[in-house]
Amino acid sequence: MQPLEMSAVDLVAALRQGDITAVESATVFLDRIEATNGSINAFLAVDREGALARAADIDARRKAGKPVGPLAGLPVALKDVLCTSDMPTTCASKMLEGFRPPYDADVVARLRRADAVFLGKTNMDEFAMGGSNENSAFGPVRNPWDLSRTPGGSSGGSAACVAGDMAPVAIGSDTGGSIRQPAGLCGITGLKPTYGRVSRRGLIAFASSLDQIGPMARSAADCALIMETIAGHDPGDSTSLAVDVPRYTDLLDKPLAGVRIGRVPEHFAAGLDPEVAKGVEEAFAVLMAAGATVHDVQLPHAKYGIPTYYLVAPCEASSNLARYDGAHYGHRCKDPGQRTAGHTGGFESPLVEMYCRSRAEGFGPEVKRRIMLGTYALSAGYYEAYYAKALRVRRLIRQDYLDAFQTVDLIGGPVSATPAFKLGEKTDDPLAMYLVDLYTVGTNLAGVGGISFPCGFTKSGLPIGFQLQAPPLAEPLLLQAADRFQRLTDWHRRRPQAVGVVKT
């Protein structure tokens, strides 16, 4: 079997058994990237030299009988929101074009220790703000299933590269759905862990109380494998949970008998695409056939999720992005001070000019919008009405989940109201774009875990995603349920024809 067709689990086993070398494996993916990235634009940076050197080192160590990590030789793509000391880290922004951090993110360090081979950094919506990967300063990403459509966002590059067989696994980040929604639109599996399960150190922050890093791959089993490496307590992250990491891969194979899955009637309201609704209902049927029971549950404040998210996230982002001011790193405008001198109505000083012009030049329109919105909502006189109000509603949303999980073990439903939409379809109306997060923001606001995986295809061949959400730290159950679904179906094995992928 070709590496491009193999699951990560199988590829790691093959590498371990010596059926394939790390260099051979890396080469296959690097060649694939070279052949297809031009039309997909999933990668912002490819480190061919570094990857092959790393692979060669792993092969040499294995040959010499030296110990190698549990993921030895596995090619991994990293969303360009993660700090890598040996590759640029841009967040798909002109603000950080060429930026090279002097340190690795905790997740990156863990994957390195596990001997993963990094192929490169994937494209994303700028600073993780977006739902279509059209907000990148370095061009949009195209959906491998239909190159005229978006892959979703903000982890659009990570989703597309897995869907397009450019990497067996990718790491993404999810603040309001940015792993799960693109996974859904690209027909792959993506997991957002419970808040605090994976360290955020080295994750370039968008909204600190919402961000989480997670795996994106072709299957829940592959996600489980990656989670064993990336999850765990980090004393360098105060919000990291000091809780042991379960052996997710060992816990996968469990029947669903007795598992209660909630179904939220409001999810099936007017805006939901009928084909998606059908796919989701069929998924429930599969899970029931596997022994789970389905029960109606309420998430009474779900409709307030988007406005709550679009206050909490921009407020935190407005502060997190204040550091990008041209002073210590990142883009600085040319000749600050030239407009101040003798220019009435201009900037009050060359320093202020440097800040204002550097940031105006470095940030794209969506980032600026959210910074402005957040600054406004936190400013004197508005704090109580907006930010504080949103935090109170956040508590109500979280309570909805905790209440629901009294009667069910999981909540199932759509991950996106529509399948992949056309490039340019929603870019004129920021609010329309915000609504793509409808089914996913609640998970982040509540701090719980969620997984999405393919449950069908539209008539036109676009993937339909299904989402499961779980109580805090119930990743084992999420992965088990998704894995069980994937033993009974083969939606996750389908591959897009659009980019000439090897057929299974």
Does 336 sit near other proteins (CB under 8 A)? yes
* Cα distances (angstroms) measured from residue 433 to each of 95, 157, 306, 436, 496: 23, 18, 11, 6, 25
Q: Is the Cβ of residue 3 or residue 101 nearer to other proteins in the bound state?
A: 101
- The DSSP symbol for 245 reads P
| Rounded distance between C-alpha atoms, residue 96 and residue 127, angstroms | 10
Residue 346 phi/psi, 5° resolution? Answer: -95, -145
| Annotated catalytic residue within 25, 132, 158, 178 | 178
Binding window for other proteins (CB under 8 A); candidates: 89-97, 118-126, 142-150, 250-258: 89-97
Does 417 sit near other proteins (CB under 8 A)? no
| 268 and 277 Cβ atoms separated by less than 8 Å | yes
Of all helices (H) and strands (E), which one includes residue 296?
strand 293-296
Near other proteins by CB under 8 A: residue from 94, 254, 263, 398 = 398
| Rounded distance between C-alpha atoms, residue 351 and residue 56, angstroms | 49
Binding window for other proteins (CB under 8 A); candidates: 44-52, 207-215, 221-229, 279-287: 207-215
Q: Is the Cβ of residue 13 or residue 402 nearer to other proteins in the bound state?
A: 402
Does 352 sit near other proteins (CB under 8 A)? yes
Does 94 sit near other proteins (CB under 8 A)? no
Does 308 sit near other proteins (CB under 8 A)? yes
Strand partners, 43: 122
Near other proteins by CB under 8 A: residue from 6, 83, 188, 468 = 83
Does 356 sit near other proteins (CB under 8 A)? yes
Beta-carbon neighbour count of residue 319 at 10 Å?
16
* Site residues (CB under 8 A) for other proteins, limited to 170-199: 195-196
Q: Is the Cβ of residue 324 or residue 466 nearer to other proteins in the bound state?
A: 324
First to last CA, the chain: 10
Binding window for other proteins (CB under 8 A); candidates: 93-101, 147-155, 270-278, 495-503: 93-101
Does 351 sit near other proteins (CB under 8 A)? yes
Q: Is the Cβ of residue 257 or residue 431 nearer to other proteins in the bound state?
A: 431
Binding window for other proteins (CB under 8 A); candidates: 2-10, 58-66, 261-269, 326-334: 326-334
* Site residues (CB under 8 A) for other proteins, limited to 114-173: none
> Residue 440 Cβ, how far from other proteins at the closest point, in Å?
15
| Rounded distance between C-alpha atoms, residue 301 and residue 324, angstroms | 35
| Rounded distance between C-alpha atoms, residue 66 and residue 319, angstroms | 46
| Rounded distance between C-alpha atoms, residue 306 and residue 435, angstroms | 7
Q: Is the Cβ of residue 6 or residue 373 nearer to other proteins in the bound state?
A: 373
Does 45 sit near other proteins (CB under 8 A)? no
| Annotated catalytic residue within 25, 93, 154, 155 | 154
Q: Is the Cβ of residue 175 or residue 452 nearer to other proteins in the bound state?
A: 175
Binding window for other proteins (CB under 8 A); candidates: 68-76, 97-105, 147-155, 180-188: 97-105
83 Cβ contact list (under 8 Å, min separation 6):
89, 101, 103, 104, 105, 108, 202, 203, 204
Closest Cα partner for 307 from 435, 129, 128, 179?
435
Does 244 sit near other proteins (CB under 8 A)? no
Near other proteins by CB under 8 A: residue from 74, 203, 217, 256 = 203
> Residue 244 Cβ, how far from other proteins at the closest point, in Å?
16
Closest Cα partner for 167 from 57, 38, 42?
42
Of all helices (H) and strands (E), which one includes residue 119?
strand 117-122
Catalytic (active site) residue 178: yes
Closest Cα partner for 350 from 359, 358, 340?
340
Does 92 sit near other proteins (CB under 8 A)? no
* Site residues (CB under 8 A) for other proteins, limited to 426-445: 430-431, 434, 445
390 exposure class (CB count in 10 Å sphere: 0-12, 13-18, 19+): buried
Near other proteins by CB under 8 A: residue from 38, 102, 258, 342 = 102
Does 204 sit near other proteins (CB under 8 A)? yes
Catalytic (active site) residue 79: yes
| Rounded distance between C-alpha atoms, residue 197 and residue 246, angstroms | 11
> Residue 311 Cβ, how far from other proteins at the closest point, in Å?
5
**Cis geometry, peptide bond prior to residue 39 (ω within 30 degrees of 0):** no
| Annotated catalytic residue within 79, 121, 192, 426 | 79
> Residue 366 Cβ, how far from other proteins at the closest point, in Å?
10
Near other proteins by CB under 8 A: residue from 35, 147, 322, 502 = 322
| Residue labelled with tokens 């360290």 | 199
Binding residues with other proteins: total (CB under 8 A): 97
Closest Cα partner for 118 from 175, 160, 152, 161?
161
| 157 and 186 Cβ atoms separated by less than 8 Å | no
Does 78 sit near other proteins (CB under 8 A)? no
- For 17, half-sphere exposure in the C-beta direction (CA atoms, 13 angstrom radius) is 7
* Site residues (CB under 8 A) for other proteins, limited to 366-385: 368-369, 371-373, 375-380, 383-385
Near other proteins by CB under 8 A: residue from 337, 488, 500, 502 = 337
Does 388 sit near other proteins (CB under 8 A)? yes
490 exposure class (CB count in 10 Å sphere: 0-12, 13-18, 19+): exposed
The residues assigned a catalytic role are 79, 154, 178
